[in-house]
Chain A
Amino acid sequence: MKPKLNLAVYWGAACGGCCVSVLDVHEKLFTIVEHANLVFWPIALDTKYKDVEQMPDGFIDLTLYNGAVRNSENEHLAKLLRKKSKILVAYGSCAHMGGIPGLANLFNKEEIFKRVYFESESTINPDQVLPQPHYKVSEGELEIPEFYNDVRTLAQVVDVDYYLPGCPPQTERLVEVFLAIVNGEQLPPKGSVIGAKDKTQCDECKRKKSDNKLVKEFKRPWQIKDDGETCFLEQGVICCGPATRSGCGVRCVEGNAPCRGCYGPPPEVADPGAKMLSAIATMIDSNDPNEIQKAIDTVVDPVGTFYRYSIPFSILRRKLL
């Protein structure tokens, strides 16, 4: 019998959805544990960081790191797990591109603290206390992770072997990747996106498509009476499907919601949002500057629309403040 693989799953700045997607393997969990020891998985196991630190380098065969790098703890673990792992996978949109936490790059640390610790409706903080990375108390010095100014992708912090995109990744893709490793299959070149296809969503989308992508005004999904059949773009709703890798099974569109781009851009695309932005602008059916402006007014939030999951991964990486 082949020796079992050592498997680790870690969450950085994440919602937990990626870990849940791992749990979503359901009965396939038995297949996984048949082939692997789960050596580290904070959501499910009580392994301590110091236990990981004591593992020999390269001890872990496969680490699925989900979540972005938001604070010093995320960064520490990213570096630690890199050292301890043979294969480090950026698992899910946050590790891959910054994900939803990456939207925080529209603000800086000060603005975020101000909002969270002073202004938010549910905050009562009369002493204006802010988290301090180091705080002396009579018992000694307390330490909490340092909150960084920027949200980074995993690859912006450590060397990453593969990217498995999605918010969260489609569980079936995880199982496929896992079994490929178990079976010793030829792995793709380092740096590849795995568990997703090169072609974008439309390739798998069942909605009816034509070349009639000319739009006078863009609509939010609630503004149309979706016929459930026609391409969202042709109904005037921005769907990021054309600029987003397939592999998820067109889950959102199958659920009658337009694609938001969590699987990230196809290969050779230098910026995750600019291509879709360009395509959408191109679809505006007017040459009149005023009409063009009117149509663009209906694209209410370009960053949130085209870079929902990818601000840290984008060319600009963060808002200039």
Chain B
Amino acid sequence: MENKVNEKIFKPKIVGFLCNWCSYTGADLAGTSRMKYDESIRVVRVMCSGRVDPTFVLKAFKEGADGVLICGCHPRDCHYHEGNYKCLRRYHLLKKYIIQMGIEPDRLRLEWISASEGAEFAKLVNEFTQKIAELGPSKVKQNIETFS
């Protein structure tokens, strides 16, 4: 019975790749400041957004992510100088690829969140969750499972 109810309300599941120095710290700050945001996001910590291999994003979609959020330090503020720019380059090319593969581009988002932007992080998660809720559940996983 309870399951039935849950089925009706779509609860997006979002994977977030956050860089250790800015975005992950910012997300922690949202916590220490007791800001509230949607439960949708599950964070995977990487040292730098430049570590985010496009494979991770594809894997997240494959496993059932309805959205993928990558967060790094603001331009020119990268702890490792330019990792965020490398991420930016990969993000754009990856986006072009997922569009070709029929995935709605809005399901993948890259944003800059600094260590002090707890509030911005909370807002971003809510906004992105809302966007994903509008798009509905991702069909990538089902598409792979019914592959025959």
Residues on A close to B: CB < 8 A?
Answer: 106, 148-150, 152, 156, 270-271, 273-275, 277-278, 280-282, 284, 287, 289, 292-293, 295-296, 299, 301-303, 306, 314-321
Task: Decide: A296 near B53, CB < 8 A? Known: A148-B148, A282-B86, A315-B59.
Answer: no
List chain A residues, Cβ under 8 A from B75. 287
Sort chain B's interface into a size bin. 20 to 34
List chain B residues, Cβ under 8 A from A280. 93
Residue of A nearest to B57 (CB): A274
List chain A residues, Cβ under 8 A from B100. 106, 301-303, 319
List chain A residues, Cβ under 8 A from B144. 316-318
Q: For window 121-148 of chain B, which residues contact chain A by CB distance below 8 Å?
A: 139-140, 143-144, 147-148
Would A316 and B101 count as touching, CB distance under 8 A? yes
The residue that B90 contacts in the complex, of A152, A282, A318, with Cβ under 8 A, is A282
Q: Mark B69-80, 1 if CB is under 8 A from A, else 0.
A: 000000100000
Q: Mark B23-63, 1 if CB is under 8 A from A, else 0.
A: 00000000000000000000000000000011100110110
Would A296 and B147 count as touching, CB distance under 8 A? no
Measured CB to CB, the closest approach of chain B to A80, in angstroms, equals 18
List chain B residues, Cβ under 8 A from A270. 55, 59
Q: Mark B82-96, 1 if CB is under 8 A from A, else 0.
A: 100110111011101
List chain A residues, Cβ under 8 A from B140. 316, 320
Would B101 and A274 count as touching, CB distance under 8 A? no
The residue that B92 contacts in the complex, of A149, A287, A293, with Cβ under 8 A, is A293
Measured CB to CB, the closest approach of chain A to B8, in angstroms, equals 23
Residue of A nearest to B90 (CB): A281
